[in-house]
Amino acid sequence: MVLYRPMKTHESLHFSYPETMAIYLMASAASVIVLIYIIKSVPFFSGHKEWTFNKEIIAVFLILAGTGITTYFMAFIMEEPSDRWNIRTFLDSCKYAFFIGIFPFGFFTLINYRHLFAEEGSQDFASDNRQTDTASPEDKIQIISRLKKEELSFFPHQFLFAESDGNYVVFHLTEEKKIRQELIRNSMNEIEQQLSGINYFARIHRAFIVNVKKISSKKGNTLGYRLKLYGTDAEIPVSRQKVQTFDQLLKQYR
**CA 144 distance to own-chain centroid:** 28
- Helix axis angle, 87-112 to 53-78, nearest 10°: 140
Q: How does DSSP assign 127-194, residue by residue?
A: --GGGG-TTS--PPEEEE-TTSS-EEEE-GGGEEEEEEETTEEEEEEEETTEEEEEEEES-HHHHHHH
Q: Return the pLDDT at 118.
A: 67
Q: Which of 59, 83, 117 is the last residue of a domain?
A: 117
Same structural domain for residues 30 and 102? Answer: yes
Claim to verify: residue 159 and residue 207 sit in the same structural domain: yes
Residue 155 domain-assigned (yes or no):
yes
Per-block average pLDDT, block size 10, for the chain (254 residues)?
67 85 90 92 75 83 92 85 81 85 84 70 68 62 82 92 93 90 92 93 95 92 88 90 90 83
**What is the reported pLDDT for 135?**
46
**pLDDT given at position 93:** 85
What letter represents residue 134's amino acid? T
User: Please, are residues 20 and 13 in contact by the beta-carbon 8 Å criterion?
Assistant: no
Domain end: 117, 144, 162, which one?
A: 117
Tell me the CA distances in angstroms from 254 to 220, 231, 247, one per residue in order. Answer: 17, 17, 10
Residue 245's CB: how many other CB atoms inside 10 A? 13
Indicate whether 129 and 152 sit together in one domain: yes
Asked, for residue 1, whether it belongs to a domain, the answer is no
- Asked whether residue 175 falls in the same domain as residue 80, the answer is no
Cβ proximity of 177 and 171 under 8 Å: no
As for how many domains the chain has, the answer is: 2
pTM above 0.85, yes or no: no
Supply the pLDDT for residue 231. 86
Same domain, 36 and 89: yes
- Model pLDDT, residue 129: 46
If asked whether residues 198 and 133 sit together in one domain, one would say yes
Domain, as residue range, for 92: 6-117
Is 31 part of a structural domain of the chain? yes
Q: Do 100 and 126 sit in the same domain of this protein?
A: no
Q: Which of 117, 152, 177 is the last residue of a domain?
A: 117
Task: Report pLDDT for 79.
Answer: 81
Asked if the structure places residue 201 within a domain, the reply is yes
Q: Are 179 and 205 in contact (CB under 8 A)?
A: no
